[in-house]
Amino acid sequence: MTLPSRVFRRVRAAGWLILAGSIPRSEVGAGWMEQLLDHADLSKPVYWLETDSDPVEGSEFLNEIEELIEASIDPTPIDRAGWENAGLLLLPGRGGATGWIKPDTTVRLLACMQTGGTLAAFGSPAAAFGEILPVAAGTLSPGLGWLPGSVILTEEGPTVQDTAIRSWLRGPEKRYALRLAEASVLALGPEREVEVWGNPPPGLTLGSAWSRA
């Protein structure tokens, strides 16, 4: 049996990395919203980060978080200063994953986690944290690489049956595909903790090299 902590290696930092298949609807998110807040440093600000130049009003999910922490959270443009000091950084599933793969953004995201901030990515932004990113059917590009050896698949992208993904999984290195359905959540802690929230749980497809380990 392959232990989850062996598979789900992640970038070293003091904060939690939480990956979800989508921004949950009210009836879906209620089960794990308090878990999300329990993993965050709420003595620091909470930011809802937007890659679009014209931020829109947050979802019902955001409104419920505001009620729980008894504070207002305004959508924050990604180019605004200060969000790297967040105790909880929320990356919503608007726009494509490639918008998060920029050197200056990567440095600031890592700075947030290195100081103990929790980073939670929903939908397409979650896919950006894999080693590779499926940008279209049959096409892969480099991801942020925060989960070495991974490709992260969300509802918005291709499946593990994609020819490019299947070919990549057959490579000589230990690789895997992580499937995040709409209500699936994978939470990875700084001490190699692995937690699964939501239903259904995340799906996992191990590459060929794992059978030779």
- Residue 196 to residue 86: CA distance in whole angstroms: 23
165: which DSSP letter? Answer: H
Beta bridge partners of 37: none
**Inter-CA distances, 211 with 5, 131, 141, 203, 205, Å:** 17, 20, 25, 18, 12
CATH of the domain at 81: 3.40.50.880
pLDDT for position 52? 64
Q: Is the distance from CB of 179 to CB of 203 less than 8 angstroms?
A: yes
pLDDT at position 57 is: 47
- The average pLDDT across 132-138 equals 87
Question: What distance, in Å, lies between the first and last C-alpha atoms of the chain?
Answer: 11
Task: Give the model's confidence band at 178: pLDDT under 50 very low, under 70 low, under 90 confident, else very high.
Answer: very high
11-59 pLDDT per residue, tens? 889 999 999 998 776 555 556 778 888 999 999 999 998 876 555 545 6
Q: For residue 89, list its beta bridge partners.
A: 47, 119
Average pLDDT over the chain, rounded to whole?
87
How many Å is the maximal CA-CA distance in the chain?
Answer: 51
Structural domain count, the chain: 1
Distance, CA of 4 to CA of 10 (rounded, Å): 12
- Residues 116, 128, 5: CA angle, nearest 5 degrees: 60
174/209 Cα distance (integer angstroms): 5
Residue 88 pairs with which residues in a beta bridge?
46, 118
When pLDDT is averaged across residues 143-159 and rounded to a whole number, the result is: 92
- Both tokens of 165, joined, read 């993904």
Range of 89's domain? Answer: 4-212
Closest CA relative to residue 185, chosen from 35, 46, 6, 67: 35
**Strands 130-136 and 176-179, how do they pair?**
unpaired
Q: Is the pLDDT of residue 149 over 60?
A: yes
* Residues of the chain above pLDDT 70, percent: 90
Q: Which residue has the higher pLDDT, 129 or 138?
A: 129
Q: What is the pLDDT of residues 64-109, one digit of tens each?
A: 888 888 888 878 888 899 999 999 999 987 667 888 888 999 999 9
Report pLDDT for 1: 40
207 — pLDDT class (breaks 50, 70, 90): very high
